[in-house]
């Protein structure tokens, strides 16, 4: 690894309303704003995490609304090392949508991009609509990491980024 601060570009994918902006807000600012507006277009936020004696900066691109701005796709994915494809565990259709985002990643994303599937809204597990086994099976079929998260309670959020760093930069 190069000396100095290592950086990882992470792009977010997933249907509107699954909680992408909330996850970034939680990770970056340790904050959760209920009824946040859906993002339009692409936005970017940075956050650093300490790993033993190394600091890794995550540059996180939020794609909410991306499907309406298809021309952004190439620029959006350029040099991304990781993608988080999020679904809402209480909404089956947001899980069905994962395949489409995966295809889009294959089309526009770098070949060796690390993929993480986030089953968000873990705090609503009582109304879970997708059996976790099915989600894990899908993730493993595309070589992705699978993790449940909650932007509301902070469940699994930092760990998801640590998993990503460990896979993108195995020597940290």
DSSP per-residue letters across 41-59: S-EEEEEEEEETTEEEEEE
Nearer Cβ to ligand GDP, position 109 or 156? 156
Pick one of 1, 5, 31, 38: the residue that binds ligand GDP (CB under 6 A).
38
* Contact window for ligand GDP (CB under 6 A) among 29-37, 53-61, 98-106, 129-137: 29-37
Binding mask 88-127 for ligand GDP (x = CB under 6 A): --------------------------------xx-xx---
Pick one of 36, 48, 140, 159: the residue that binds ligand GDP (CB under 6 A).
36
* 48 counts as binding ligand GDP under rule CB under 6 A: no
**Footprint of ligand GDP (CB under 6 A):** 14, 16-22, 34-36, 38-39, 64, 120-121, 123-124, 150-152
């Amino acid at each position: 690894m190069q000396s100095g601060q290592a950086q990882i570009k992470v792009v977010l994918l997933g249907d509107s309303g699954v909680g992408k902006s909330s996850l970034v807000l939680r990770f970056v600012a340790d904050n959760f704003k209920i009824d946040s507006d859906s993002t339009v277009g692409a936005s970017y936020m940075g956050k650093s995490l300490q790993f033993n004696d190394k600091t890794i900066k995550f540059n996180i691109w939020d794609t909410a609304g991306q499907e309406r701005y298809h021309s952004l796709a190439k620029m959006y994915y350029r040099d991304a090392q990781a993608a988080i494809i999020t679904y809402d565990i209480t909404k089956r259709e947001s899980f069905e949508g994962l395949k489409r985002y995966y295809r889009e990643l294959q089309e526009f994303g770098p070949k060796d991009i690390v993929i993480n599937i986030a089953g968000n809204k873990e705090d609503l597990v009582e109304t879970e609509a997708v059996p976790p086994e099915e989600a894990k099976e899908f993730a493993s079929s595309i070589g992705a990491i699978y993790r449940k998260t909650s932007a509301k309670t902070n469940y699994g959020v930092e760990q998801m980024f640590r998993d990503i760093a460990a896979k993108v930069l195995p020597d940290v």
